[in-house]
Amino acid sequence: MTDDHPLIAFPPPLAFAAALAATWLLSRYLPLGVLGRDVSGIGWVVMAAGLALAATGALTFRRRGTNVNPYKPALGIVATGPYRFTRNPMYLGMIVFTAGFGLTLVTLWGPIVAVGLGILLDVFVVRREEAYLSAKFGSDYTALCDRTRRWL
């Protein structure tokens, strides 16, 4: 087994699944800010946007020939597709999807949980990935950071 990967605290898809479960449970058992039914349609659009962003990010990684799995070595720096606008489109897509999911349930829990998911990913995944990528790719990665925002 190789140590050539970021030492992230947990698998991001697990955090995403937990955020979706938390959103559903909270909306069902502790309703907050119940919104009008018309918000549900907006939620579906937001979910689709999040899914598209995450999927495009993953496909761009695959086309570039690097690993999507954060427990495997990074094989290169990706700066095309959605990576021109954000260094973390897959994670951002998960966050956006979570917010949209809450809106489909006509509750404010989705956006609230999405903020929590974003903080968790930022502190326990993204910053560790950035330290790893900086150590591995040096000035090439620093240049990417200088021209592309972490989130938006």
Q: What is the DSSP string of the chain?
A: ----S---SS-HHHHHHHHHHHHHHHHHHS--SPPPTHHHHHHHHHHHHHHHHHHHHHHHHHHHT--SSTTS---S---SGGGGT-S-HHHHHHHHHHHHHHHHTTSTHHHHHHHHHHHHHIIIIIHHHHHHHHHHHTHHHHHHHHHS-S--
Cα 124 to Cα 60, 74, 151: the distances in Å are: 23, 18, 15
pLDDT at 1: 40
pLDDT for 103: 94
The number of beta carbons lying within 10 Å of the beta carbon of residue 35 is 16
pLDDT at position 137 = 96
pTM above 0.85, yes or no: yes
Averages of pLDDT over runs of 10 residues in the chain (152 residues) are: 80 98 96 82 97 98 94 94 97 99 94 98 96 96 96 92
Asked if 129 and 7 count as a contact pair (C-beta separation under 8 A), the reply is no
Contacts of 66 (CB under 8 A, 6+ apart): 74, 75, 76, 78
Q: Can you give the pLDDT at residue 28?
A: 94
Residue 2 has a pLDDT of: 59
Give the model's pLDDT for residue 32. Answer: 84
